[in-house]
Structure 1
Amino acid sequence: MSSLTVTGVTKSYGATPVLTGVDLHVPGGGFTALLGPSGCGKTTLLRLIAGFDDPDTGTVDVGGRLVAGPGRSVAARRRRIGFVPQEGGLFPHLPVAGNVAFGLPRRQRRDRGRVAELLALVGLDPALADRSPHQLSGGQQQRVALARALAPEPSLVLLDEPFSSLDASLREETRQAVVDALRASGATAVLVTHDQAEALSMADEVAVLRRGRLVQLADPRTLYRSPRDLDVASFVGESVVLDAEVRAGQAHTALGALALERPCPDGPARVLLRPEQLRLAPVEGGVPVARVRSVDFFGHDARVRLELPSGLACSARLEGWDLPVAGEDVSVRVVGAALPFPAGAPDAPAVAQVRGA
Structure 2
Amino acid sequence: MSSLTVTALTKAFGTTPVLTGVDLHVPGGSFTALLGPSGCGKTTLLRLIAGFDDPDSGTVALGDRVVAGEGRSVAARRRGIGFVPQEGGLFPHLTVAGNISFGLPRRQRRDGGRVRELLQLVGLDTVLADRSPHQLSGGQQQRVALARALAPAPSLVLLDEPFSSLDAGLREETRLAVSSALEATGATAVLVTHDQAEALSMADQVAVLRDGRLVQLTDPRTLYRSPRDLDVATFVGEAVVLDADVHGGTAHCALGAVPCQGAVADGPARVLLRPEQLRLSTPGRAGAVVARVRSVDFYGHDSRVWLALPDGGTVSARLDGADLPSVGDDVAVTVRGTALAFPVSGPAEVTAPLQPSA
TM-score strictly above 0.5: yes
| 1:327 CA drift (Å) | 1.6
Q: Does the 8 Å contact 2:228/2:347 carry over to 1?
A: no
Structure 2 SS opposite 1:145: helix
Q: Give the match for residue 52 of structure 1.
A: 52
Give the deviation of 1:63 after TM superposition.
2.0
Identity %: 78
SS at match of 1:178: helix
1:26-69 per-position Cα deviation (integer Å, ceiling 9, x unaligned)? 00001000000000000000000000000000000012111100
Residue 105 (structure 2) aligns with = 105
Structure-to-structure mapping, 1:19-98, within 5 angstroms: 19-98=19-98
After TM superposition, which residue ranges in structure 1, 4 or more long, deviate above 2 angstroms?
Answer: none
Gaps of 5+ in 1: 348-357
Kindly provide the amino acid, as one letter, of the partner of residue 101 in structure 2.
A
- Tell me the secondary structure at the aligned position of residue 66 of structure 2: strand
Query: Which residue in the other structure is 2:303 paired with?
Result: 302
Task: Tell me the residue number matched to 2:198.
Answer: 198
Give per-residue Cα distances to partners, 1:293-337, cap 9 Å, x unaligned. Answer: 111111111111111010111100110112112221111010011
Indicate the SS of the match to 1:109: helix
CA distance in 2, matches of 1:5, 1:70: 14
Matches within 5 A, 1:242-261: 242-261=242-261
- How far 1:243 sits from its partner (Å)? 1.1
Q: What is the alpha-carbon root mean square deviation over aligned residues?
A: 1.0
Pair 1:167-2:163 in alignment: no
User: How many residue pairs get matched?
Assistant: 347
Report the secondary structure of 1:192's partner residue: strand
Partner of 1:351: none
Instruction: Give the structure 2 partner of residue 8 of structure 1.
Output: 8
User: Could you tell me how far apart the structure 2 residues matched to 1:284 and 1:238 are?
Assistant: 28
Q: Secondary structure at the match of 1:77?
A: helix
The answer as to whether partners of 1:246 and 1:252 remain within 8 angstroms in 2 is yes
Contact 2:97 2:115 in 1 (8 A): yes
* DSSP-derived class of the 1:11 partner: strand
Displacement of 1:232 after TM fit?
0.2
- Cα distance per residue 1:164-213 (max 9 Å; x no partner): 00011110010010000000001000000000000000000000000000
Please state how far the C-alpha of 1:214 moved relative to its aligned partner: 0.2
User: In the alignment, residue 315 of structure 2 is paired with which amino acid?
Assistant: C
What corresponds to 1:276 in structure 2?
276
Q: Which amino acid aligns with 2:134?
A: H
In the alignment, which residue of structure 2 is the partner of 1:350?
Answer: none
TM-score (norm 1): 0.96
User: Is the deviation greater in 129-138 or in 223-232?
Assistant: 129-138
SS at structure 2 position matched to 1:29? coil
How far apart, in 1, do the equivalents of 2:106 and 2:57 lie?
37
Instruction: Kindly state the Cα deviation for residue 285 of structure 1 after the two structures are TM-superposed.
Output: 4.8
Within 1, Cα distance between the matches of 2:341 and 2:132? 55
Q: Which amino acid aligns with 2:37?
A: P
Equivalent-residue separation in structure 2 for 1:346 and 1:13 (angstroms): 31
SS for the counterpart of 1:134 is helix
Q: Distance in 2 between matches of 1:143 and 1:285?
A: 53
Give the match for residue 313 of structure 2.
Answer: 312
The CA deviation at 1:266 is 1.4
Letter in 1 for 2:154: P
Q: In the alignment, what sits opposite 2:265?
A: 265
Provide the rounded CA distance (Å) in 2 between the counterparts of 1:321 and 1:92. Answer: 48
Flag structure 2 segments of 5+ consecutive residues without an equivalent: 349-358
Assess if the C-alpha contact under 8 Å between 1:63 and 1:155 holds in 2.
Answer: no
1:99-138 → structure 2 map (5 Å cutoff)? 99-138=99-138
Question: Displacement of 1:126 after TM fit?
Answer: 1.1
Match of 2:290 in 1: 289
Q: What is the identity, as a one-letter code, of the residue corresponding to 1:276?
A: E
Question: Residue 246 of structure 1: CA displacement?
Answer: 1.2
Are 2:335 and 1:341 equivalent residues in the alignment? no
Aligned to 2:148: 148
SS at match of 2:110: coil
